[in-house]
């Protein structure tokens, strides 16, 4: 079977959850005998072709034409997919919500949208109105897709309602985590009181509320320290650096307790997580949240938001803790409870590791994805 992923953020380099997912699943499918190709558009000057552990990665140059990128990039990507199909017939093309808005294909491949959080989903769940142009693109893409899957039940049903998908089947396929890479590291010393956050520094990730929770946390646990790892972003409301705004919120007496660190490549992340006492991800909204599962796989006690798909990932007080991500006091209470009780942290961490392996490991999900792809091809063939 030949699977082709559409992905504009394949590692290394700047990437988010979709890029990490595509690499993790793509490598696993290749190891299991599938032909895997990844094609996408990047801010580069000429096409780059490379092999990543059996995954053929094709990086196409962005059109760089203001106002015409939608058309030019779509034609460029469609042309590349047709060329790939002529060489090796593509069975399934798998991509995020907007993947099929601007490409038309003659290839008979089954087109699958994998919901990782599209425009309608994030704007609406964060209290905003979808933009007309982006909204139209998303609806067009869904209309052209043959099959649908989603990384959580929450995103599946929320998107179903927003886009009026009716009774179209939506397969639930969580993003996998490499639980052999993200695993307990007894060789790394756990730093007492260290709280680690990883992710983009922005409003929707709950960074503001986490910083605001630190006075309460330090008052209860004087040795507590917060390490925020991730790229800065521009606050759309002010046009200023979000990180700089957060730094201004930190009182002088608390500055030794809060540190910002630059983005760490996913390959180096396990060692950093291993040193944490608690991992905290108080996101206001996520499609799934791979970083949460990565922390769980490391046998870390994780605190995450009870909004969105949080309860699908973490069983409250069993494999992690759920907080109100909009309330600094709620975040602080959960973190303090874990920092003060090492035994509880170990118990929750052990159960978190077990849940990550059983439900979110590559081994589990490569099988589920392969089965799904075979059903998709059969459905398309019989349509």
> How does pLDDT run across 88-101, given as a tens digit for each residue?
999 999 999 999 99
Give residue 125's pLDDT band: very low, low, confident or very high (50, 70, 90).
confident
* Element spanning 382, H or E: helix 362-382
Residue 131 structure tokens: 């933009």
The stretch 324-335 carries a mean pLDDT of 98
Instruction: Report d(CA 241, CA 102) in Å as an integer.
Output: 32
Domain that holds residue 249: 194-360
Q: Alpha carbon of 230 to those of 262, 267, 320: distances in Å?
A: 5, 14, 22
234 and 133 share one domain: no
Structural domain contains residue 189: no
Structural domain contains residue 66: yes
Give residue 288's pLDDT band: very low, low, confident or very high (50, 70, 90).
confident
**pLDDT above 70: percentage of residues in the chain:** 98
156 and 209 share one domain: no
The stretch 106-114 carries a mean pLDDT of 89
Structural domain contains residue 185: no
118 and 62 share one domain: yes
329 and 201 share one domain: yes
**pLDDT above 90: percentage of residues in the chain:** 80
Tokens 């047709």 found at: 82
> Rounded to the nearest 5°, which phi and psi values hold at 145?
-75, 145
pLDDT at 139: 96
Say if residues 29 and 363 touch (Cβ distance below 8 Å): no
Q: How many residues does the chain have?
A: 383
Read off the CATH number of the domain in which 57 is found. Answer: 3.40.50.2000
Helix, strand, coil abundance in the chain, percent, nearest 5: 45, 20, 35
202 and 350 share one domain: yes
Angle at 324 between CA 310 and CA 119, to 5 degrees: 55
Examine the pLDDT at 265 and tell me if it is beyond 80. Answer: no
Residue 67 structure tokens: 């106002």
Structural domain contains residue 368: yes
Say if residues 223 and 192 touch (Cβ distance below 8 Å): yes
199 and 74 share one domain: no
9 and 102 share one domain: yes
- What would the pLDDT profile of 295-326 be if each residue is shown by its tens digit? 999 999 999 999 989 999 999 999 999 999 99
141 and 43 share one domain: yes
pLDDT at 284: 92
Give residue 71's pLDDT band: very low, low, confident or very high (50, 70, 90).
confident
190 CB contacts (<8 Å, ≥6 apart)?
Answer: 274, 275, 276, 277
Structural domain contains residue 181: no
303 and 272 share one domain: yes
pLDDT at 273: 96
Structural domain contains residue 186: no
375 and 227 share one domain: no
The stretch 283-306 carries a mean pLDDT of 93
pLDDT at 383: 66
Structural domain contains residue 183: no
Burial class (CB in 10 A: 0-12, 13-18, 19+), 309: buried
161 and 200 share one domain: no
| Count of domains for the chain | 2
351 and 376 share one domain: no
Structural domain contains residue 188: no
Instruction: Report d(CA 245, CA 241) in Å as an integer.
Output: 7
Tokens 């399934």 found at: 92
């Amino acid at each position: 079977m030949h699977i082709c992923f559409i992905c504009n953020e394949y590692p290394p380099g700047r990437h988010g959850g979709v890029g990490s997912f595509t690499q993790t699943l793509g490598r696993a499918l290749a190891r299991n005998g599938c032909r895997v190709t990844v094609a996408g558009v990047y801010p580069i000057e000429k096409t780059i072709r490379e092999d990543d552990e059996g995954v053929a990665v094709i990086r196409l140059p962005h059109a760089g034409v203001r106002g015409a990128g939608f058309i030019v990039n779509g034609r460029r990507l469609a042309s590349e997919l047709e060329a790939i199909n002529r060489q090796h017939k593509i069975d399934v093309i798998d991509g995020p919500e907007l993947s099929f808005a601007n490409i038309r294909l003659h290839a008979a491949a089954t087109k699958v949208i994998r919901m990782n959080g599209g425009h309608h989903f994030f704007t609406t769940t964060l209290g905003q109105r979808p933009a007309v142009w982006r909204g139209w693109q998303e609806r067009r893409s869904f209309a052209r897709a043959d099959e649908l899957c989603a990384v959580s039940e929450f995103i599946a049903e929320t998107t179903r309602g927003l886009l009026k998908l009716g009774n179209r089947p939506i397969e639930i396929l969580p993003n996998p985590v490499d639980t052999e890479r993200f695993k307990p590291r007894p060789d790394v010393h756990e730093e007492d009181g260290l709280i680690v956050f990883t992710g983009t520094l922005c409003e929707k990730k709950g960074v503001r509320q986490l910083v605001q929770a630190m006075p309460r946390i330090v008052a209860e646990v004087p040795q507590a320290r917060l390490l925020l790892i991730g790229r800065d972003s521009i606050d759309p409301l002010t046009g200023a650096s979000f990180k700089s705004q957060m730094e201004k919120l930190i009182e002088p007496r608390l500055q030794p307790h809060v540190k910002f660190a630059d983005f760490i490549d996913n390959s180096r992340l396990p060692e950093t997580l291993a040193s944490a006492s608690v991992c905290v991800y108080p996101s206001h909204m996520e499609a799934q949240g791979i970083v949460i599962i990565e922390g769980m796989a490391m046998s870390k006690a994780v605190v995450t938001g009870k909004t969105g798909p949080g309860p699908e990932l973490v069983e409250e007080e069993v494999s992690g803790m759920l907080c109100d991500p909009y309330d600094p006091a709620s975040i602080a209470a959960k973190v303090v409870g874990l920092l003060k009780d090492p035994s509880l942290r170990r118990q929750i961490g052990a159960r978190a590791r077990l849940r990550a392996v059983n439900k979110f490991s590559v081994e589990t999900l490569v099988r589920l994805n392969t089965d799904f792809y075979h059903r998709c091809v059969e459905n398309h063939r019989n349509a």
